[in-house]
Amino acid sequence: MFNRQRLCAVVHKEFIHVFRDWRSLFLAIAIPMALILLFGYALNMDLNQVPTGVWDRSMTPESREFLSLLDGSAYFSLTGYAQGYRKLQTDLETGKTLLSIVIPGDFAEKIRSGRSVSIQVIADGSDANTARLALSYVSALGMIYNRNLTIRRMQAAGKGDPVVPVSMENRVWYNADLRSPNSIIPGIVAVVMVVIAAMLTSVTVAREWETGTMEQLISTPVRGPELVFGKAAPYFVIGMVDVAIAVFMGQWLFDVPLRGSTALVFAMAAVFLTGALFFGLTLSIVLKNQVMANQAALLGSYLPTLMLSGFVFAIENMPVPIQCLTYIVPARYFIALLRGIYLKGIGLEILWVNALLLALYAAVMVLAANRRMKLKLE
């Protein structure tokens, strides 16, 4: 059974230690803000103003019309005109351009005679994601150019506009503009929380052993659960403050909508934070070494959250064995919860499985930390 007075004494002691160690407290607030700014601005998967080099061997109104489609779009920026492959290759190698367009000399002649003509598109494959997107967007613009040509030819022949048998009407729900920050910012909340847990709680008990104060605690009436929960309490408060900062910055700086319940966001964050904190505490209790515990916490929480949670890389695109491994990463369920609440405005009536698994993770970590905490000399 908990003794309220002893528990409050441990909590009070930990709060004093936190406020005395102002450097760690500053980092606990500054690092989440830095991560939000870094990921929010730098991790952008939208295609925008791709530098594009051009070798227009035709130099005709027809070729200029095609190039105007590229230059007029928000996806490409024509950086200059080359007069040979050597210049195009140099620009690609130096990173001045990511895409090159080569229009053949007989482009206009074939267009006027109704024959097919090929335009060469060269992409820098060292940036595979951008190259893939750029090629698909160029293909789409090529289809628009072809359709415009077909319409003009049929109008010139007096046949009117062509009838398209099947017309695709695209609609995007939940993130209509396909903005990267809308899907990235909710994931950053999970990254921020595991970093705080790894950085702070993983060294708390280990520090007591290394400084020799654990012997003093053992000599007091304090019990294991009281010490564990007492040590977690201050960092839980700091973690929830960081969650509030992340939510505020997401809406204020990046205009990310929060369509669902704000209270549910904080409730699920509290459950996930509990599991992350007690995971760090468990490592601190077992390893009894600050450096080892901190490194183990980073390897066991931060890296899986970054790589295997669906935050950056889609789980569906991973190999099947790796997909199976993601089921043991708690951040996978937390990020799915946040994206559902943020973008879709749904609640536990749909997301209850993720919430249940998250609660199970937190319960297992709390139980593990309390079972491993033994107030005796070994």
Last residue of a domain, one of 107, 124, 156: 156
Note the pLDDT tens digit of each residue in 241-270: 888 888 888 888 888 888 889 999 999 999
If asked whether residues 93 and 193 sit together in one domain, one would say no
**CATH code, 119:** 3.40.1710.10
* 103 neighbors 119 (Cβ within 8 angstroms): yes
In a domain, 309, yes or no: yes
* 131 neighbors 47 (Cβ within 8 angstroms): no
If asked whether residues 364 and 317 sit together in one domain, one would say yes
* 121 neighbors 53 (Cβ within 8 angstroms): no
If asked whether residues 253 and 313 sit together in one domain, one would say yes
If asked whether residues 55 and 26 sit together in one domain, one would say no
Note the pLDDT tens digit of each residue in 217-238: 666 767 777 778 888 888 888 8
In a domain, 163, yes or no: no
Note the pLDDT tens digit of each residue in 301-315: 888 888 888 887 788
Question: What is the domain range of residue 329?
Answer: 4-43+179-372
Nearest 5 degrees, angle CA 33-CA 38-CA 42?
A: 155
pLDDT of residue 377: 42
Domain count, the chain: 2
Note the pLDDT tens digit of each residue in 113-156: 878 888 888 888 887 777 888 888 888 888 888 888 877 777 76
If asked whether residues 236 and 292 sit together in one domain, one would say yes
In a domain, 125, yes or no: yes
To the question of pTM greater than 0.85 for the whole model, the response is no
φ, ψ (nearest 5 deg) of residue 27: -65, -35
If asked whether residues 18 and 111 sit together in one domain, one would say no
Distances in Å between the Cα of 359 and the Cα atoms of 195, 354, 355, 366 are 20, 9, 6, 11
pLDDT of residue 362: 93
